[in-house]
Amino acid sequence: MPRVTARAHRTGVSRSLLAMLMFALLLVVPVTAPPPVAAASLKDQIAAAKDRQAELTASIARSARLVEDLKREEAATRNALAATKEELTDIRADQDAVRERIEQVAERLDRIEERHAELVDEQRQTDYTLGLLEQELANGEDDLKARRQSLGRRLAEAHRAENTTLLEQVFTAESFSDVLTDTSAYLSYGDQDAQLAQKITQDQQALDNLRLLTTSTRLQTDQLRRATLETQAQVVELRENLRQARARLARLERQTEKARERQAAQIVALALTAKEAQQRIREQVAARAQLRSRINNLVASAQRRASAQFGGVAPGGGNGIFDWPTSGYISQDYGCTGYSAEPPRGDCPHFHDGIDIANGEGTPIRAAGAGVVAFIGYNPWESVPAFMVVIAHGGSTSSLYAHLQPQYPVSQGQVVRKGQIIGYMGSTGNAFGTHLHWEVWQGGDWLPVDPRAFL
């Protein structure tokens, strides 16, 4: 019995010495820590994701500027088309000017469509970059998941080692060196695992921030996409409005051309030869001169009254002092013309002294501006007398309204306001169709000037 006890005692002492030897060896055996899991890869992915985000921010800013430019261009185009539509439905239609504006609108629409295409390309690139960013974020999440799993396994192993006695590890190990290696490694896992956990937390926070920013970016791109679709719909609408404006202008041009053809036919009917046409022109010029001579004093007196009452009308320049005197369309404008029945002036062999406005018989004629009626009645010196009204506006400016119906809604010497009815459209005198011949005179020599300068 004592021998057994002594043997057991010796066995216990041996095991204690073995344990002490193992701990001594653990103090000197170098510890080799395992490398971090995909840390460098995730760092590169986060850096790449930040670069993508910077690209997206710049792209969205460019898209926003393009959208604002498109909105401004569309608003200006819409206003131009609205003004054109108004002109084409009223007497204000200077067909050459309207045609030029319509072509300007067409050029602006071309620019709008180019910018819209540029915006679509920009958004396509934005979507592509956003897709890359989301993929990089997903890869980062996968890396983080792998690192968390690796850390979890390491912690589980450390926990198992902590709850296993050294003697149990020695008895279960395949070799004594394995025990030394595993035990030394477990001793260093605590600090390293804390560092790994901290790095995982930092990287997770960086990815979460980028994810939030990406979500916000996706929202901005969706808003810009909706704005782009709206601008596309507006461009389609503007194209249709432009088509309608061109169609209205074409109808007006055909209508005007037909009126001019009718006038030309009547000119031919009235003057079959060039000699007869020249004689008619001379008669017209003489009749106008005699009329001016007759009513010169009346106009001068009316001018004095108008100047005293209204302060006078300054010379032209599109100052808006006059309004259009009637509605309809312009069958002949002021200036050089191809009508052989018009007299010469300056370098023009045929010059039209006013603006002809065609419309139906009896269309109201209104005073273009406030003034005093200097004359109302026929010009008796014309071979076919025309009924007319002359208004003095002050400041040596007068206006003439010819070929009216022989009615007297106003009387000579009467003060009239702008827009007041002074007569009705007719075809008295040498009129080639129902229309108003409207002239504006400037200065004491009764020189006809372009009425548009006062509109």
As a whole number of angstroms, the distance between CA 310 and CA 218 comes to: 65
Fold observed for domain 274-454: Glucose Permease (Domain IIA) (2.70.70)
Question: Which tens digits make up the pLDDT trace of 110-167?
Answer: 888 888 888 888 888 888 888 877 887 888 788 878 877 877 777 677 666 656 554 5
For the residues 36-43, what does the mean pLDDT come to?
A: 51
As a whole number of angstroms, the distance between CA 70 and CA 72 comes to: 5
Buried/exposed code over 255-290 (b: 16+ C-beta within 10 A; e: otherwise): ebeebbeebeeebeeebeeeeebeebbeebeebbee
Buried/exposed code over 152-174 (b: 16+ C-beta within 10 A; e: otherwise): eebeeebeebeeeeeeebbeeee
Question: Which tens digits make up the pLDDT trace of 71-103?
Answer: 888 888 888 888 887 777 665 566 777 888 888
Which is higher by pLDDT, 152 or 106?
A: 106
As a whole number of angstroms, the distance between CA 365 and CA 419 comes to: 9
Question: Which tens digits make up the pLDDT trace of 325-340?
Answer: 998 888 888 988 776 6
- Assess whether pLDDT exceeds 90 at residue 407: yes
Q: Answer positive or negative: Cα dihedral of 336, 341, 342, 348.
A: positive
Helix (H, G, I), strand (E, B) or coil at 36: coil
| C-alpha gyration radius of the chain | 49
The residue written with tokens 């003439």 in the block is 400
pLDDT-derived band at 450, boundaries 50, 70, 90: very high
